[in-house]
Every structure is written in structure tokens, then in C-alpha cells.
Amino acid sequence: MPVTAVVGAQWGDEGKGKITDLLAQEADVVIRYQGGNNAGHTVVNQHGTFKLHLVPSGIFNPNALCIVGPGTVVDLKVLCEELRNLEAHGISTANLRVSDRAHLLMPYHTLLDRLDERERGRQKLGTTGQGVGPAYADKVARHGIQVYEVRDPKRFRAHVAHELETKNKVIERFGDKPLDAKQVADEVLSAAATLGDRIVDTLPLVEDAVRTDARVLLEGQLGAMRDLDWGIYPYVTSSNPLAGGAAVGAGIPPRYITRVIGVVKAYSTAVGEGPFPTEMHGKEGDALREMANEYGATTGRPRRVGWFDAVAARHAHRLNAFTELAVTKLDVLGAYREIPFCVAYRLDGRTTTDMPPTAVLERATPVYETCVGWCGALAGVSDRDHLPKAARDYLAKIEASVGAPIGMVGIGPERSATLL
Ligand code: IMP
């Protein structure tokens, strides 16, 4: 059984939650490998509609072990709230484990994220304000606090106090009130106590899963265009959503990952700042946003919307070598008689299908080809062959321009509305 990575191939919000929820029904282990509670994975199933921020989408399969992996940054308080909410809906969270090597996203990270955005002014990045950037910055600068440290409260308190000495200077310089070390430590330790022995060394669990041929699912957050190394820096997140990041972030040797599913929406959306070449503005954009309910799952911000960008999706494919694509929200495009499809960029008088660096991308304009729409609903269609011809042609165009075959097609929000 392959180890499968589910990776976003656009700007995030491609519908990974739905695809992971579907695949997780057959999985033994589901691991979130990067990011923090900036994620908002919307899952609609027989239990209701959920927006998962840290908990792997596999939580709805009572037989799957769900791991918040070592590559994540974890706000323990947010995690506990999320678990409480799931339990209140009758979902057991007994199978959740948190890597003791993950980094803690501390209350001061959240504050610093917001202050940093404020200071950037017009150059702001449009982060989710959850503290993810500052938490990873501390990790890389070797000022981070790993989850295992909560096991020794005395040492933990001293570490927090030490970190706050410098953090508070920055906070005060930004004109905000310094944080109290005891209060910060209390808050984190209390959440850690709630999690209790669910905080573990996850490596033996993962190693055992691979050794016994268990079905492992690696769940990414965000997409290639927001990858720290390959996205639109600096308008990126502070970790690597790419499949390469999955190996390190889950703690799984790369050669075991044999299936990489790239998730793309049938059009494009982005939340936050940065270039977005196929963006629709004005009424045209508003119409698609409303029709498809494109609002951020974590922040509620209206998502920017645009046509499908094959340059971006191909960029993701070059970096991930997708074994297959999952296309989501195809049904939404049923509203259009003609569908512009970006096949290349015009840049300084030439045409390119390579993804340029951010400041250059700002100057790029999309080269569109027009696809014929199918003008109708797709509800009730049960396999790809029974889609209207124009919809099949649209999918074939995605396959040809990205270079990977499509294995799944979403035609509605429910788990069942997926053509396999
Ligand atoms: P951060 O990850 O909160 O630091 O935000 C960095 C960039 O990634 C911003 O443009 C955010 O809007 C974007 N971002 C972060 N998480 C998500 C997500 O779950 N969906 C879509 N965009 C996100």
C-alpha cells in the first residue's frame, strides 16, 4: 500500500480537506505534516460541516490514527478547543497524537504576527494572524520551544520566561503591553495537561505503520504557490507544503511516498496578498465568490478568485511529480457559457510557461484559451464518462496542460459528490 501525500497545487484552499476526508476512510494513519492553525480544512460528511485547523481530516475515521506531525507548529489551546468541538459533535478524538518534536505556537507568536503585519503597513503579507510565521521564525532561529518541553513544567516555565525577555522588548517597541511569563506558561501547560499522554514521540508509530504496510496519508496545508521556497515569496507561509516537506514534516523517509495527489480547484482562489495573475475583479469576481461561497475558513476573509492557471498548477507538478490530480468544485463552472483557461503568461514581450519570481510575476499577464462551458448542474453524475462533453474536455485540458492524469473530480461539497 502506498504512502499517499495530499498536496495543494495552487494558492491553498483547493479542497484538500474534502479529498483527505474521503481517502481517510481507507487509511490507517493520517498525518498533518506542516503548518499550524492557519489551515482551514472544510469537511462536509454525515456528521455535519467542520472546519479543521490543526486536527488531521482523518479524525472522522474512528479506526485511523491521526498525528499532528513534527513539522507543524501547534497552538495547544486552539487544538484543545478544536478537540472539544469535535467531541461535542460526537466525534471521538481518542486516536489523536501530537508529536513531541513539533514546535509550540505560543501566545506571543500570535501577538507578534499581528504586530508585524501592522508594522508592514501597505507591504503587509495578509497572513491569517495565527502566529504561524513568528513560530517558524523562532524554530529556525533556534528560539523555539518543542512540545515535549511541557513534560518538565519547571524547565518549561524558565524557558518561556527567558524567551519573553526579548519578545516583550519587541512587543513594547511596537507599543503593546508585555506578556506575563507565568500567565503564558500556565495557559500552555493547562492545555498540555488536557492532551496528557496524547503527546508522544510519533516516529515509532510512523515507522511501525510503514513496516506493517499500513495505509498512510500525509495531509498538507496550503499550496505550492504559498510554499516558503517555491511560492510567491514573501507572500508565502513559513513552511513547505510540497511533497518534499511531507517527508521531513511527517518523519517518513521520502522513498516511501509513492503516491502524490495534487489537489486543484477547477478555477483559482487565493487569500492574502501577492500576485495572482488570473484574478477576476469587480462584479465578475464577486459573482463567482458568492456563487461558490469563497470565504476563508480560518479568517472568514473573502477569497480572491480567478480562472484556472495552468502555469501555476504545472509549476506545482514540476515540484511534486503528482501521480494524479484531484479536481475540486468542477460543478461551480457550470454557470459559464465560456471559460477562460490560462495556458501561459505574457512577460516583457515574450510568452512563457515557467513560473517567474514574485516581482516579475507581478508584471505577467495571462494568455487565455477559451473553453466551452457545459451550462448546467452536475448533480447526480456518478462517473467521469457521464459528464457533459464540455466538462470532460475541460478536465482533459487540465490534464494536458499540467501534465498529470486526473484521478478524482469533485462535483459538490459532500464526500459522496466525488467521481473516482
Ligand atoms: P500565514 O500562513 O498565516 O503566515 O499566512 C501566509 C499566507 O498564506 C497569507 O497569504 C495567508 O492568507 C495564506 N494562508 C495561510 N493559511 C491559509 C489557508 O489555509 N488557506 C489559504 N491561504 C492561507
Domain match, 239 and 302 both: no
Place of cell 490507517: 28
Domain match, 300 and 403 both: yes
For residue 11, give the H/E element and its range.
none
Domain match, 37 and 9 both: yes
Nearest to 67 by CA among 105, 38, 95, 39: 95
- Ligand 1 centroid to residue 37 C-alpha, Å: 10
Nearest to 6 by CA among 223, 207, 209, 210: 223
Q: How far apart are CA 352 and CA 361, in angstroms?
A: 11
Q: Please identify, by atom number, the ligand 1 atom nearest to the C-alpha of residue 298.
A: 19
**Residue-number span of the structural domain to which 115 is assigned:** 103-195
Give me the CATH number covering residue 168.
Answer: 1.10.300.10
Hey, which of 222, 298, 305 would you mutate to test ligand 1's pocket, going by the most ligand atoms within 8 Å of its Cβ? 222
Q: How far apart are CA 392 and CA 312, in angstroms?
A: 21
Domain match, 122 and 161 both: yes
| Residue minimizing CA distance to atom 1 of ligand 1 | 127
Domain match, 149 and 246 both: no
Domain match, 126 and 256 both: no
Residues with CB under 6 A from ligand 1: 12-13, 38-40, 125-128, 130, 132-133, 221-222, 226, 235, 237-238, 271-272, 298
Domain match, 318 and 412 both: yes
Q: Please identify, by atom number, the ligand 1 atom nearest to the C-alpha of residue 132.
A: 4
- Ligand 1 centroid to residue 222 C-alpha, Å: 7
**What is the number of structural domains in the chain?**
3
- Ligand 1 centroid to residue 53 C-alpha, Å: 12
The residue from 142, 170, 195 where one domain ends is: 195
Domain match, 13 and 90 both: yes
**Mind telling me the catalytic residues?**
13, 41
Q: Is 161 exposed, middle or buried (0-12, 13-18, 19+ CB in 10 A)?
A: middle
| Residue minimizing CA distance to atom 12 of ligand 1 | 272
Q: Provide the grid cell at 297.
A: 475558513
Hey, which of 128, 130, 294 would you mutate to test ligand 1's pocket, going by the most ligand atoms within 8 Å of its Cβ? 128
Dihedral sign for Cα 9, 12, 17, 18, please: negative
Domain match, 286 and 409 both: yes
Per the CB < 8 A criterion, the answer to whether 325 and 399 are in contact is yes
- Ligand 1 centroid to residue 196 C-alpha, Å: 30
Please give the C-alpha separations between residue 163 and each of 21, 35, 120, 145, 234, in angstroms, as whole numbers.
38, 22, 23, 9, 25
Domain match, 246 and 340 both: no
Hey, which of 105, 226, 228, 235 would you mutate to test ligand 1's pocket, going by the most ligand atoms within 8 Å of its Cβ? 226
Q: Please identify, by atom number, the ligand 1 atom nearest to the C-alpha of residue 38.
A: 16
Place of cell 515507522: 207
- Ligand 1 centroid to residue 5 C-alpha, Å: 20
Give me the CATH number covering residue 206.
Answer: 3.40.440.10
Domain match, 406 and 336 both: yes
Give me the CATH number covering residue 307.
Answer: 3.90.170.10
Q: Which residues lie below 8 Å from residue 27, measured CB to CB, with a gap of 6+?
A: 4, 58, 61, 64, 215, 216, 217
Per-residue pLDDT tens digits of the chain, which is 420 residues long: 489 999 999 999 999 988 998 999 999 999 999 999 998 888 888 888 888 999 998 999 999 999 999 999 999 999 999 999 999 999 999 999 999 999 999 999 999 999 999 999 999 999 999 999 999 999 999 999 999 999 999 999 999 999 999 999 999 999 999 999 999 999 999 999 999 999 999 999 999 999 999 999 999 999 999 999 999 999 999 999 999 999 999 999 999 999 999 999 999 999 999 999 999 999 999 999 999 999 988 788 999 999 999 999 999 999 999 999 999 999 999 999 999 999 999 999 999 999 999 999 999 999 999 999 999 999 989 999 999 999 999 999 999 999 999 999 999 888 888 998
Domain match, 289 and 368 both: yes
